[in-house]
Structure 1
Amino acid sequence: MDAAEARDAPASAPRSHLVRLLQTGETYTCNDTETLLQGMSRIGKKGIPVGCRGGGCGVCKVAVKSGSVRKIGVMSRAHISEQDEASGVVLACRVSPTCGVELEVLGKMQTTVCAPWGRIAS
């Protein structure tokens, strides 16, 4: 493909990946063009804390147990250390899936996401 063909080729369509929350077994789809947090908002649970959505508050901390993600923005080192990130602990608002992913929800978001349907723990 020459430069003109590459320039005129349509952009690839977003690819959808299955994300599974290990604590509850719930799954949701998440495109590779959106964050894990954006996808998580579709599972239907009320009160999922989303904080700043910019990587600064640390509310949406998750551990990627299998699969892979790509970083789409800066994560506050006050909430995610370099060692955390290297071991798969990330902020769901700052990563998107590159394939199917299994997550463990951590921190403040765990209370809401892991609560039984229809009941939010206080």
Structure 2
Amino acid sequence: MLSIHLEQTGETYLCSEAETLLEGMTRLGKRGIPVGCVNGGCGVCKISIRSGRVRKVGAMSRAHVSAEEEAKGVCLACRVAPLEDVVAEVVGKMSKAFTFPSVASTSS
């Protein structure tokens, strides 16, 4: 099992090399990476790999991840499996959800 760390939440979970980063997270009941269609079509689970290596397990939708982004470590969590421990940041459509609670709590 490999360690997957999400920068926004500070949460770490274990994921096997045989499952996608999204499958590993949902199997454990974790909620750090937004879940959408789980087959690469919606782009909700778009992440950036900050450290570690992953392998593609399915087609990466060019509607959501350009070749240039992919070359820089951006991918869909439902389409990659870990090859080693990974640190990731959510950059998909729902990444702003991580900033609202901290803004609300500082203005209280």
User: Is TM-score (shorter-chain normalized) higher than 0.5?
Assistant: yes
- 1:55 maps to which of 32, 35, 40: 40
* 2:92 is the counterpart of 1:103: no
Counterpart-to-counterpart distance in 2, 1:17 and 1:115: 30
Taking structure 1 as the reference length, the TM-score comes to 0.73
- 2:54 maps to which of 63, 69, 75: 69
Consecutive unaligned residues of structure 1, counting only runs of 5 or more, are 1-15, 117-122
Consecutive unaligned residues of structure 2, counting only runs of 5 or more, are 102-108
Counterpart-to-counterpart distance in 2, 1:68 and 1:114: 27
Shift of 1:49: 3.8
Report the CA distance shift for 1:115/1:101 in structure 2 as closer, same or farther (over 3 A). farther
Report the CA distance shift for 1:29/1:36 in structure 2 as closer, same or farther (over 3 A). same
Q: What is the percentage of aligned positions where both structures have the same residue?
A: 55
Counterpart-to-counterpart distance in 2, 1:88 and 1:37: 16
**Mapped contact 2:25–2:31 kept (Cα < 8 A):** no
Name which one, 1 or 2, has greater alpha-carbon Rg. 1
Taking structure 2 as the reference length, the TM-score comes to 0.81
Counterpart-to-counterpart distance in 2, 1:24 and 1:52: 22
Count how many residue pairs are aligned between Structure 1 and Structure 2. Answer: 100
Indicate the SS of the match to 2:39: coil
* Cα RMSD after superposing both structures: 2.1
Indicate the SS of the match to 2:25: helix
One-letter amino acid of the counterpart of residue 37, structure 1: L
* 2:19 is the counterpart of 1:34: yes
Q: Segments of 4+ in structure 1 off by > 6 A?
A: 113-116
Indicate the SS of the match to 1:108: coil
Shift of 1:54: 1.1
- Map Cα deviations across residues 21-58 of structure 1 (whole Å, 9 max, x no partner): 11221100000000000112225339x64222111110
Shift of 1:114: 7.0
